[in-house]
Amino acid sequence: MGDGPESGVLGGLLARAKEMQERLQTVQAEAGARTVEASAGGGMVRAVVNGRLELVDLRIEKEVLAAGDAGLVRDLVLAAVNEGIRRAQAMMAEEIGRLTGGLKLPGFG
């Protein structure tokens, strides 16, 4: 590795890669703090998931609980949480896609 034109090109590529990595980390942190909401059963169960794919809130209407059907409650909770996770993944993929200009990066959809 000398002082030839290749070292300048390589240095520029490395600098750009480092800059993109830093921007990616910033976007991940910002998007990770954002939330999406999903519901099931016509809104009877609502799940809020953040960009880190963590369930941060779960609301179940009293009418669902009053019905006394544990299987129904379980199914509605699973449906709402899974849809929330899918929406959060889509949100993160969109944010990362904006940063990378559509370039697919391993682990980011």
- Residues 5-53 have pLDDT tens digits of 566 788 888 888 888 788 878 877 887 889 999 999 999 999 999 999 9
- Alpha carbon distance 96, 109 (integer Å): 9
- Alpha carbon distance 79, 28 (integer Å): 26
Average pLDDT over every residue of 44-72? 95
What's the pLDDT at 31? 77
Residue in 69, 13, 15, 8 with CA at minimum distance from that of residue 41: 69
Q: What is the CATH number of the domain that holds 59?
A: 3.30.1310.10
Q: Report if residue 39 sits inside a domain.
A: yes
Q: Report if residue 105 sits inside a domain.
A: no
Range of the domain at 28: 5-100
Average pLDDT over every residue of 54-62? 96
pTM: 0.72
**Contact predicate 35/50, CB 8 Å:** yes
State both tokens at 7. 């070292």
Q: Report if residue 107 sits inside a domain.
A: no
Grouping H, G, I as helix, E, B as strand and the rest as coil, residue 38 is strand
Band (99; pLDDT cuts 50, 70, 90)? confident
Please tell me the number of Cα atoms within 13 Å of 97 on its side-chain side: 8
Q: Report if residue 108 sits inside a domain.
A: no
Report the number of distinct structural domains present in the chain. Answer: 1
